[in-house]
Amino acid sequence: MLETARRYRKRKESPVEETRRLLDAIKRDTLNSFITIDEQGALLSARSAEDLLDREDAGVLAGIPVAVKDNICTCGVRTTCASEILADFVPAYDATVVKKLKDQGAVILGKTNLDEFAMGSTTTTSCFGPTRNPWDPSRTPGGSSGGSAAAVAAMLCAGALGSDTGGSIRMPASFCGITGLKPTYGSVSRYGLVAFASSLDQIGPMAATARDAAVLFDAIKGHDPLDSTSALHDYAPTDLEGIDLRGVRIGVPEDFFGPGLNPEVESAVLSGIAELADMGAQVVDIRLPHVRYGVAVYYIVATAEASSNLARYDGVRYGMRAGESGGLRNMYLQTRSKGFGAEVKRRIMLGTYALSAGYYDAYYRKASQVRTLIADDFRAAFSLCDIIAGPTTPVTAFRLDEMVDDPLSIYLLDIYTIPANLAGLPALSIPCGFDSRGLPVGMQLMAPHFREDLLLGAGIAFQDRTGHHKVRP
C-alpha cells in the first residue's frame, strides 16, 4: 500500500493503470476471493484519484486499490453477506468505513467472499462457493473474512476490510500469511455493517504489513454519531516508524500453550516471542484463568445475538421472498428455510434456545457473567504486562474437505481469538513463521483498550526485524 503510494508520487505508475491491472487479475482469479467486482466504479474512482494526486494535500490512500468484505454496505453495489437471502440486495448508502475510504481517494475494487453472514471459520459456507487459500488452493483461507485475506495474500488488492466477531480477521490473516487487526470495540464505526452479534462485531484492516494495516486503521477509526456503540476517544495517528520494544513487557499466558496446540505452531510462536525478547522486550508469565470458558461463552452470546439480529430477514421488507401463497406464516417459513444456509440455521436455533423461557438464566445470563470474569482476567494481566502474545490459531490452514461435518472442531479453532472479542480488546495477527509444509503461522498480540498504537508499533518493529511477512505464495 505505502509502496504503491510511493510509485504514484514518483509517476512510475498511475491509479488507472494499477486499477486496470488488478481488475484483470481479479477476473482471472481462481481462488474465488471476490463475490462482486465493481469495475465501473473502481475506474471512475481511479480517474478521480489521478486528479487528486496533483494536489499537495492528497492523502496516502489516494488511488490505492482496496477490497471490502461483502457484509459491509456499499451504495449501488450489492451486499450479499454470501447468502441466498440477500443475493440481490443493493444498499442505498455506504457504510461509514466505506465513505471514509472514498473520501480519502481509495479505489474500491469490489466485495470479497465470506462465510454466510460471517458465521464460520473456513469461508466454505458462502452460497457463492468456497474461497481457496493462495498458499495451497486445496486448503481453507480461514474465515469468515477469507475472501479479504486471500485477495491480499494473492496481491489482488493493496489492502482490505474485514469484520471480526470471534476471530474472523485474525484467523484468515494467520492462515494466509498477512497482517490483520481487530480494533477495540467501538473504535471503528459499525454503521453499515450487517450485524451478526452486535456486542462483538468489529470492522478492521487486513494488509500485507503492519504499516499498511496502520494506514487503513487510521483511515477508518474514530467516533461516528450514526453508531450508538461508537466510542468517544481522542485518537492520535499511528507512528509508522514502529516503537522501541526495550522495556516493553510481553505477557505470555500459559493458558494459550497446552493440549490442542499444534507443535509446529507452538514452535513458531515461541520463536516469535523470543525475537521480541531479543529486541529488548521483557517476557513475563501470566495467567488468564477464565479464558478456557471463552468458546462456550461466545457460542451462547453470539448465537443469541444472531438469533435476534437475523429475525429481520422475513421476506417482508427486503431480500429474498419465498412462499408468497399460503399466508404470512408460510412466507416466513419458506423464506427463512430457503434463504439461510445450514450453519446460519444452526446458530439461529442455538441462540433462540438460549434465549427461550426457562433457559435464559441458565445459559445467556450465566454466559454474560463469565464474560465479565474473562474481561477481569485481562485487566489483571495488563497490570503485569503491556502486550499479551500467543498463537492466533491452534493449527495452520487445513484442507477444504476437513471438518466439514464436525462443527464443534471448527468452533474450537477460535479458542485463542474469541477472548479479545468478549473483552472488547484490540488484537493483531502477524506472520511469525511457517510449518513443515510451508504454510504460514500467525502470532497474536493483544493490548489494553484503545492501544492499537502499541500493537501496530510492535508489529511494525517485529516486521522490520524479520522477513516472514515478505514471503508470498
Nine-digit cell at 54? 496533483
Q: What is the mean pLDDT of the chain?
A: 95
**Contact in structure between 39 and 75 (CB atoms under 8 Å):** no
DSSP summary character for residue 197? S
Q: What confidence tier does 87 reach under pLDDT thresholds 50, 70, 90?
A: very high
Residues 97 and 154: their CA atoms lie apart, in Å, by 23
Amino acid at 141: P
With 90 as the cut, is the pLDDT of residue 358 above it? no
Range(s) of the domain holding residue 47: 1-473
- Residue 388 sits in a domain whose CATH number is 3.90.1300.10
pLDDT of 236: 87
Q: What is the tens place of the pLDDT at every residue in 91-118? A: 999 999 999 999 999 999 999 999 999 9
Tell me how long the chain is: 473
Beta bridge partners of 284: 251
In the residue annotation, 187 being an active-site residue is answered as no
In the residue annotation, 145 being an active-site residue is answered as no
Grid coordinates 517476557 are at which residue? 283
Compute the average pLDDT of residues 139-155: 98
| Cα Rg of the chain, angstroms | 21
Which is the catalytic residue, given 148, 168, 187, 189? Answer: 168
Which is the catalytic residue, given 33, 45, 121, 144? Answer: 144
| DSSP helix, strand, coil percent of the chain (3-state; round to 5) | 40, 15, 45
In the residue annotation, 168 being an active-site residue is answered as yes
Give strand ranges (E) for 240-281: 249-253
Of 53 and 207, the structure prediction assigns the larger pLDDT to 207
Q: What is the tens place of the pLDDT at every residue in 271-323? A: 999 999 999 999 999 999 999 999 999 999 999 999 999 999 988 878 888 87
Compute the average pLDDT of residues 257-267: 96
Peptide bond into 144 cis (omega under 30): yes
Q: What confidence tier does 332 reach under pLDDT thresholds 50, 70, 90?
A: confident
Residues 286 and 276: their CA atoms lie apart, in Å, by 17
Q: What confidence tier does 405 reach under pLDDT thresholds 50, 70, 90?
A: confident
Work out the angle at residue 390's Cα, subtended by the Cα atoms of residues 388 and 391, and round it to the nearest 5 degrees. Answer: 150
Please state whether the predicted TM-score (pTM) of the whole model is above 0.85: yes
Q: What is the tens place of the pLDDT at every residue in 47-78? A: 999 998 988 778 899 999 999 999 999 999 99
DSSP summary character for residue 390? E
pLDDT of 261: 97
Work out the angle at residue 422's Cα, subtended by the Cα atoms of residues 421 and 425, and round it to the nearest 5 degrees. Answer: 50
In the chain, the number of structural domains is 1
231-235, 353-357, 371-375: least confident range = 353-357
Work out the angle at residue 26's Cα, subtended by the Cα atoms of residues 23 and 28, and round it to the nearest 5 degrees. Answer: 115
Q: In angstroms, how far is the first alpha carbon of the chain from the final one?
A: 18
pLDDT of 263: 98
314-323, 334-343, 464-473: least confident range = 314-323
- Please spell the DSSP secondary structure of 430-470, one letter per residue: EEEEE-TTS-EEEEEEE-STT-HHHHHHHHHHHHHH--GGG
Q: What is the tens place of the pLDDT at every residue in 9-53? A: 888 999 999 999 999 999 999 999 999 999 999 999 999 999 989
Rounded to 5 degrees, what are φ and ψ at 304?
-65, -45
Compute the average pLDDT of residues 143-171: 98
Which is the catalytic residue, given 69, 99, 102, 182? Answer: 69
Nine-digit cell at 101? 475510504
pLDDT of 394: 97
